[in-house]
Structure 1
Amino acid sequence: MERHQDVVIRTVEERDIRFVRLWFCDVLGTLKSIAISPSDLENAFTEGIGIDGSAIEGLTREYESDMLLRPDPATFELLPWRGEVAGTGRMMCDVLTPDGQPAASDPRRVLKDAIARAEAKGLEFFTHPEIEFYLFERGYEPGQPLRPVDSAGYFDHVHRASGQDFRRTVIQYLEAMNIQVEYSHHENGPGQNEIDLRYADALTTADNILTFRTVVKEVALSMGQVATFMPKPMIDNPGSGMHTHLSLFQNGRNAFHEPGAEYGLSRTGRQFIAGLLRHAPEYCAVTSQFVNSYKRLWGAQEAPSYVCWGHNNRSALVRVPFHKPTKGTSSRVEFRGADSAANPYLAFAVLLAAGLAGIDGEYDLPEGAEDTVWQLTDRERRALGYEPLPTDLFRALETFESSELMAETLGEQVFEYFLRNKHVEWDRYREQVTSVELDATFYRI
């Protein structure tokens, strides 16, 4: 840690960095930031920088306003859109109480605790997200139709399209910040793009996702566009998911891999999937945390709506992708339920907790889904045992609230705040009178 601190201080001096931004997020995953001068760096590392936590969503109770930010020196990077000389650096931070203890309300702390529980079993947790988002023209006003930057579709190569320039710039910035990208392409919806980050440990990936969202929005603004990670911004076009590949390693070996087993999937891997399936209704409020999230899940456009798994079945909640038989490290499971607006720290924490519950409880994995689940009738799905995910945020919160696993994983403070905040969101949504209601009843009744 001290070596990392020395490297940061030396880099700041050599590059003539004028500001260092300390990044953290609230319980919903919204990025927060304060800037300090280079002269305050050493104090930030040793004592932390004080903030008023009562101003941050869910960070403290009203009588616990004083909090500290302690930057993680291993996460120091320059913000490439601010230039390399006389520029700006950033570090991800842990939130601490005034006595230097990890804050119960810090989402990064929630994930660290979940990872620590896995490490106590000798397991390392790795993730690889595929992040979808939309690009729209500037000038949107409430009540007016959204204007995507193009009308292209899945994998389309659009000549002279701004999306290609956009993705290239985003990737250049990400790689300048040591965030490695695996793929990028146009997605199914007009103006919709996907950029996939390479495998990394779960904490690094969560930090990278928070950075990714910021880079995407910065580049969009610089090009006169607006980027959104809203789960379902348009009725007639696909939502934006964050399909995430998950794997566990033990003693340097992929714990999900077993040579000769069906799909190369080990008993541990099967139990992990079983945990993801059994607890899916409980954690759904975290991986799909907004009212709008359920319009993606139930929008009839390739989002998983039912609790099942399958091999290369893209209609399933959990998919076991094809792996190279000679490459055991490639064995993994793909969780398709999260959307791009999820708090990555909390989402990874609850997915890991559900998977570990399956391993600890030796859950049996049900038969995999071979059919395209969306095309089955309700009767056929019931006969096959495919239970639906919650159909809206209210139903998701009902199951979440009764879950001991979620309360234990998130901790009392995050659990209670998340629940309270989401009930407020649902109540505000329920109070609205929409154009659909007006069209259906205003002139007809």
Structure 2
Amino acid sequence: MTPPSVDAAIARAHRDEWARVVAGLARRFGDLDIAEDATAEAFLAAVERWPRDGVPPNPGAWLTTTAQRKALDRLRRESRRYDKHQAADMLRDDTPHEPTGPVEDDRLRLVFVCCHPVLTMEARVALTLRLLGGLTVAEIARAFFVPETTMAQRITRAKAKIAASGVTFRVPSDDDIRERLPGLLAVVFLIFNEGYLATAGDDPLRTALIDEAIRLARLLHALLPDEGEAAGLLALMLLSDARRPARVSRTGELVTLEEQDRGSWDRAMILEGHALVRERIATGVPPGRYQLLAAINAVHTAARSAGDTDWSQIIALYDRLIAADASPIVRLNRAVAIAEVDGPDVALAELERLREPLDGYHAYHAARADILRRIGRSDESRAAYERAIHLAGNPGERAYLTRRLDQLGGAR
């Protein structure tokens, strides 16, 4: 039986090193399949050997070396064409590598490969979440509201298309960076969201994914300091993650914004996020989606209490956001804000118009349940809570929704 300490070390190494090892192999060999498969084999070797030999002093270096050997073995075994062997020989070549150019981080370079224009936006996001974020196919499928088999096929086709198109793990030019920026921002944001509110597992939050997404957002902002949406995404993440200490109770229940202990929020992150928002406003350039979402979060985090929230300003920001992104989820969030200004009856009418596109989304039913509760329609509220609990994948959300359902009383 594997000691718990070894299991924890392997899990920590997977969380911290997976993306680093995959990205390093992808740069060196220029083949995503080889990079992913060799990394997986290295982790399998760790599962077999670490319980017997002990956890190495530097797990990341051990995994990288093992993965490189697995990749070389595969190349020799399959007698790959000359350029693949030449790539493998780089491991023993003393000549300098090509300059890294404007993107110095292997993981960020890998994202640019995965966000190549030959792929659809959905494929870019899915492939990067798999290779860089280390999310399982099932987790990515839930993020996209598609069956797991569909997502597996999408990722496989994306890797095949990159290989067939001759896309290489090369240094991206400035034009490449700006062309692929929307897909890259979407990738980083989805990685953050999976960490901020995990769709599977026993933990409500996946802090490693949150930290990785913020790290990537910082790199992007440093790389493109004049790109408003890069700054907006970083600000949005900082202002959201600043509330991390207050978001989950001791019993593992998700704590809603109005119930959170605002004194435990990370003030340094809030100040940094507010500064980024003000910096973008000062440019006078019309804000994009991430800048508007950051501004909404700035209003929330500026309020000393839930009762002090400037909901009128939040609605105005949502109105501007809808002009750029009229998605059902944006309209759902605006309806929740409407309830605070115009009352729950007006908000309910807005929600009913969103039933068809959002019927499979747990947050829609949770919002509707709360509005119905405030109106006094307890039976309908109870049914909506039950639907939300059934659809929710996050244990903290399920615990919160179950408590609210129990507070209604009556038949379950």
TM-score, scaled to structure 2: 0.30
Quick check: which one's helix share is greater? 2
Which structure: larger Rg? 2
